[in-house]
Structure 1
Amino acid sequence: MNNTESLKKNITKAEDLNLYMNLTKDEEIKMNEILEKYPMSITPYYLSLIDFNDQNDPIKKMCIPSIEEIDLSGSFDTSGEADNTVITGMQHKYEQTVIVLSTNHCAMYCRHCFRKRLVGLSDEEIATHFEEMLEYIKKHEKISNALISGGDSFLNSNTKIKKFLAALCDIPHIDLIRFGTRIPVVYPERITRDNELKEILSKYGQKKQIYVVTQFNHPREVTKEVTEAIKYLRDAGVIVKNQTVLLRGVNDSIEILGELLKNITAIGIVPYYVFQCRPVTGVKNQFQVPLKEGIDIVEGAKSLQNGQGKCFKYCLSTTKGKIEVIGKTKDNEMVFKFHQAKYKEDRGRIFIEKVTDNQTWIY
């Protein structure tokens, strides 16, 4: 299927929302101001999940801009992606992993995205640097996996996906290949209506294990259409894992997060991380949950799971690495551990920090 043609039906302008929200002229003007900086694009499928009668609908909050996005506090690059860029479009932060920003396009632009600065590359730019990327990976034999990200990696054409897989599968020290994508959640028909994609994944999955790492944030995202898309991927031999982001007004309760984890586990998705929402400009003040509150929510949700549903870490992705939030000790102290570290001296390091009631991040 032609992804570009299908996405022409997406909601991209403030006036497109008038059929659903009855925006005032002033609200429309303010929204268009936001869209000049942070584009909106919502698939018809995902739009159909919104309850427009609920002013605080969590699905709506993840895809329709809020006036709070004008807030310029925070940072555009909270985990040091720029510092870890070794080739245009490729990052190497952890010894075993490279990340390829394969496209700057998404099927839907999530309002909580930590890449609101849109660092992905055009097809032409990727084509220019592709051979250079491969040579870099070949020379660094400790690299055992490649994460194809973006934008959204499954918005790439099948031809481009095949090109990445063919090249990476020929590198002996690559053990597995991951695709970072929210397509199964926001645009499942891209998967279920495309038999060629299944053939490609099945073929190259015989050579190297392929993982799809997706992002479900709310139980209402787990629909019949989504379940079919996940089954398709699993039938192709793909292992599907999930990275949830803890989001204020979306999944910041034990019951909602617990139901989400239970639902995704039931359809064959392995919970991988629950991430603390990053202090990104235009994101932090409307989506971040304080760390003390966050650990209570996460541990409460974890207690509702069977053994398979407990297979995740609650982490912050910082400039120094992924830091697991272990728990609280005294009133103003929390325990943290480096789950993955950029620097050798931090590997596995446990530390305690004083944390205020409203604190949402550590540096």
Structure 2
Amino acid sequence: MAGLVNGVFRPKVSKYLRQLIKHVQETEGEDSGAYKALVNQYVYSEKEEEKHEEVNLKHYEAIVEEDDSKGLPKGIERLYRRQLVIDITMVCAAHCRYCLRAYYDTSQLKKSDIDRIVEYCAKDINLKEVLVTGGDPFMVPNLLKYLITTLVEKAPNIKVVRIGTRVPVQEPKMLNDEMFSFLKNYSKSLMIEVAIQINHPIELQPVTLEILRKLQDSGVRIYSQNVLLKDVNDDIDTLITLYDELRYLGIEAHYLFHSIPMKGTNHLRTSVAKGLKLIKQLTSSGMISGRVKPTYALMTYIGKVTLYDGTILKKDDSGYLHIKTNYRVSDRQIWNETYQLPKDQAYEDEDGFIIAKYLDGDDHTHIAVNLIDGDK
């Protein structure tokens, strides 16, 4: 996934996606929403090199670096008590232009790294689940299998393994019967969930639907995390169609993320307020099934924050929203003693709760007063 060429996030479009883009171009035209949705997600744009306020190279600073004095393994991110993120590889089948890890170093864990991570998991009874991501874990199937088998053998406290992937929509045939058989076997020992990111209905092609069905037949639960992207899915009709289709496929809607402030992504970011308007239309108007309503959230430097009344405290003169959370530094340090608050991206209020600073997108949509002053 990660990879820079002359300081620019390297374009990478899989063979499958190139064929799909060409097909949609020929059948629906370049002015169609489907064509724009694919091109804007995957095709490099010169707009990425324009100077904007989005300058971050990482989405948050939670990586636990290898530290022999504390016995912490590399390749993990620890923000939450019961869940651990494992960055197993930084390779993907294609490069999403809004990627939150575009500027990470290209890397991949070794089996010895996996052994240390599993040992760490086994020693912490608070840990109940791991999220395997990167990059795309299905790009390194043997390493993924080794991780799962070792967790089952040596860390029985881990009850859930979640796998984040876009392979089913980027290069679906990479998932084969050998992997389906493996997942079916190990789904008897723990709960295996696959997080599939589908941002537009055009991505639900027949070959992708077949892969999703085979995953479900393997005992895997599938849920979807979507990113709100300008000129991809930032209109209510597209979102309604998308969540209807997910419902019919038996895929649980999880988060609808606002597109994070990463370098080169300004042209793809809506305002947070526009997302609030859309999520209200989507979830509070009877337009979709109540069983498939997503949660609108921000990926801040100190972790995910779901937006509720009173969460947005203010918007400062630099365009940053100040987001009230229920996280405390002292709590974080109980399960991750290396954790330090990123001082330029967050601060603590008088009660010790973390206030995250989050750069807003700009589409001239204003934050509603009652959301800023909801607790007054």
TM-score by length of 1: 0.79
Aligned pair partner of 1:64 in 21, 32, 43: 43
One-letter amino acid of the counterpart of residue 181, structure 1:
T
8 Å CA contact 2:56–2:262 kept in 1: the answer is yes
The sequence identity of aligned pairs, in percent, is: 24
Report how far residue 79 of structure 1 moved: 2.3
8 Å CA contact 1:292–1:328 kept in 2: the answer is no
- CA distance, structure 1, for counterparts of residue 322 and residue 280 of structure 2: 14
2:18 corresponds in structure 1 to 47
Name stretches of at least 5 consecutive residues in structure 2 with no aligned partner.
Answer: 67-71, 316-320, 333-347
Report how far residue 160 of structure 1 moved: 2.0
- CA distance, structure 2, for counterparts of residue 189 and residue 353 of structure 1: 41
- CA distance, structure 1, for counterparts of residue 89 and residue 47 of structure 2: 27
Aligned pair partner of 2:234 in 252, 270, 291: 252
- CA distance, structure 2, for counterparts of residue 299 and residue 136 of structure 1: 41
Name stretches of at least 5 consecutive residues in structure 1 with no aligned partner.
Answer: 1-32
For the structure 1 residues 181 and 329, does the alpha-carbon distance in structure 2 shift closer, same or farther, using more than 3 Å as the test? closer
Is the partner of 2:143 in helix, strand or coil? Answer: helix
Is the partner of 1:264 in helix, strand or coil? Answer: helix
For the structure 1 residues 278 and 242, does the alpha-carbon distance in structure 2 shift closer, same or farther, using more than 3 Å as the test? same
1:324 corresponds in structure 2 to 306
2:128 corresponds in structure 1 to 144
Report how far residue 350 of structure 1 moved: 11
Cα displacement string for residues 132-164 of structure 1 (whole angstroms, at most 9, x for unaligned residues): 11111111110101111111011112x222211
Matches within 5 A, 1:14-53: 37-50=8-21, 51-52=24-25, 53=29
8 Å CA contact 1:94–1:341 kept in 2: the answer is no
- CA distance, structure 1, for counterparts of residue 296 and residue 246 of structure 2: 17
8 Å CA contact 1:246–1:252 kept in 2: the answer is yes
Report how far residue 127 of structure 1 moved: 2.7
Is the partner of 1:102 in helix, strand or coil? Answer: strand
8 Å CA contact 2:88–2:135 kept in 1: the answer is yes
- CA distance, structure 2, for counterparts of residue 114 and residue 66 of structure 1: 17
Report how far residue 96 of structure 1 moved: 0.9
Report how far residue 240 of structure 1 moved: 0.3
8 Å CA contact 1:321–1:342 kept in 2: the answer is no
8 Å CA contact 1:246–1:274 kept in 2: the answer is yes
8 Å CA contact 2:111–2:143 kept in 1: the answer is no
For the structure 1 residues 198 and 343, does the alpha-carbon distance in structure 2 shift closer, same or farther, using more than 3 Å as the test? farther
Q: Within the alignment, does 1:291 sit opposite 2:272 as a pair?
A: yes
Q: Within the alignment, does 1:106 sit opposite 2:92 as a pair?
A: yes
- CA distance, structure 2, for counterparts of residue 173 and residue 237 of structure 1: 20
Moved more, 139-148 or 334-343: 334-343
Moved more, 89-98 or 298-307: 298-307
- CA distance, structure 2, for counterparts of residue 133 and residue 172 of structure 1: 14
8 Å CA contact 1:152–1:180 kept in 2: the answer is yes
- CA distance, structure 2, for counterparts of residue 291 and residue 242 of structure 1: 20
- CA distance, structure 2, for counterparts of residue 352 and residue 212 of structure 1: 29
TM-score by length of 2: 0.76
Aligned pair partner of 1:153 in 129, 133, 137: 137
1:117 corresponds in structure 2 to 103
For the structure 1 residues 340 and 156, does the alpha-carbon distance in structure 2 shift closer, same or farther, using more than 3 Å as the test? farther
Cα displacement string for residues 202-232 of structure 1 (whole angstroms, at most 9, x for unaligned residues): 1111000100011000111112111111100
- CA distance, structure 1, for counterparts of residue 104 and residue 354 of structure 2: 33
2:145 corresponds in structure 1 to 162
> How many residue pairs end up in the alignment?
321
8 Å CA contact 2:81–2:126 kept in 1: the answer is yes
Question: In angstroms, what is the RMSD of aligned CA positions?
Answer: 3.3
Bigger helix fraction = 1
